[in-house]
Amino acid sequence: MTKHDDASWHYGGDFPTDLPDEAGATHIGMFVAWALLSGLASEFFQEELAAELAELRAGSTTPGAFLMAACDGKFTDDALSDEGNAFAAAYFSSDRGGYLDDYIGLVGGDHDSLYHVPDTWTTFAMLKPDLDRRLAAWRAQR
């Protein structure tokens, strides 16, 4: 199992003292929730986390809270399909992708740090069109 990201890598490092650990999961959870809700979930996740995915689809849990509760704060390759993992490697990866730059540009501007962005469906709605566009562009280049 390969780990794309882990909330503990964020809240265990240079992290704002005024925030709970869960704030280290928001930016990861936004991407993971978008991927899962966009048809990039692995069969394993669809089967093993059916109830949790239903809560996510219903909006009864937020993306960051989902990541913390259902995934123990970790974004691993078992969450996504082969296509989802290939896209995550190309776009989410901090050394090659542009996700964090897009995230900060789209939702981080009025906040003290990327960790201060609220874990809400409003934040998700602000990100979704750009993520959809990025996936479409990536698919067109394959």
Ranges of H-type helices in the chain: 7-11, 26-37, 43-48, 50-58, 63-71, 82-87, 99-103, 121-141
Domain that residue 134 falls in: 3-141
Number of domains in the chain: 1
pLDDT at residue number 23 = 92
Which range of 5-14, 18-27, 56-65 scores highest in mean pLDDT? It is 56-65
Say if CB 94 and CB 100 are below 8 A apart. yes
> pLDDT digits over 11-42, tens only?
877 789 899 999 999 999 999 999 999 999 99
Kindly report the pTM of this predicted structure. Answer: 0.94
Helix (H, G, I), strand (E, B) or coil at 117: coil
Say if CB 52 and CB 32 are below 8 A apart. no
